[in-house]
Every structure is written in structure tokens, then in C-alpha cells.
Amino acid sequence: MQQIHSFEELKEILVEQNRDKKDLEEIEQAYFYAKKVHEGQYRVSEEPYIVHPLVVAKILADLLVDKSTIIAALLHDVLEDTDTKPEEIKERFGDDVLNLVLGVTTKTG
């Protein structure tokens, strides 16, 4: 599996796929939100935690999934690992993203 270390690498893939500009902006907003709420968290490997959601988002982008699924990939651990509440995900990113995130969340606060 190819590693990815920055949003710019993911964005490059999405641009090559001719993703809609508005979709790219929403995906970027989700990335920066996830990066902010995961700030100070690290994986066992000592790399910043945000690298994990980036890798998941890249895997799904390579499968040509829709925007909501990529956003959910970036946010998939925020309910488990941060103080983020489901309502905040819904307000910022909509019902579809919230439902996807809830579907892969093992606890909600």
C-alpha cells in the first residue's frame, strides 16, 4: 500500500480524477477539520494521527467513491478519538457524511 503524508497528495489524486471543484473544497474543509480535532494525537508509529485518515481517504479515492465517502474517511475516527459530537458533523458536513461516520464508529463519546 502506498503511503500518503499530506493533503496535497490526496488533492492531486482527486484533481487527476477530474473531481468537481466544489467537492474538492468540501473535502479540503473536512481534512482541515479532522487535522484540527486530531491535533496532538499520534499513531503507535509516532506519526501524526491525521496520516491514518489520509491513507483511508486515498484508498477510497482510488476506488472512485463519491465525495461524501471521502469526507467520511477523513472524519471516521473523530467521534471515537476526539470530543466531537455527531451534531457537529451533521451541521458541518451533512446527514450523509454523519451516517457514514456513525456506521464505522464503535463509540460516540
Phi, psi torsion values for 42, nearest 5 degrees: -135, 150
Residue 17, in any domain of the structure? yes
Residue 47, in any domain of the structure? yes
CATH number for the domain harbouring residue 36: 1.10.3210.10
Could you tell me the three cell numbers for 60?
A: 477510497
pLDDT at 109 over 70: no
Task: Give the active site residues.
Answer: 80-81
pLDDT at 10 over 90: yes
Residue 2, in any domain of the structure? no
Mean pLDDT of 2-8: 85
Burial, 71: exposed, middle or buried (Cβ in 10 Å; 0-12, 13-18, 19+)? buried
Residue 109, in any domain of the structure? no
Burial, 109: exposed, middle or buried (Cβ in 10 Å; 0-12, 13-18, 19+)? exposed
Mean pLDDT of 71-86: 96
Report the number of distinct structural domains present in the chain. Answer: 1
Residue 1, in any domain of the structure? no
Which residue reads 456513525 in cell numbers? 102
Q: What local confidence, expressed as pLDDT, does residue 2 receive?
A: 62
Confidence of residue 45 (pLDDT cuts 50, 70, 90): confident
Residue 62, in any domain of the structure? yes
Residue 51, in any domain of the structure? yes
The pTM is what?
0.93
Whole-angstrom CA distances from 9 to 44, 64, 66, 76, 106 are: 23, 16, 18, 19, 29
Range of the domain at 17: 7-103
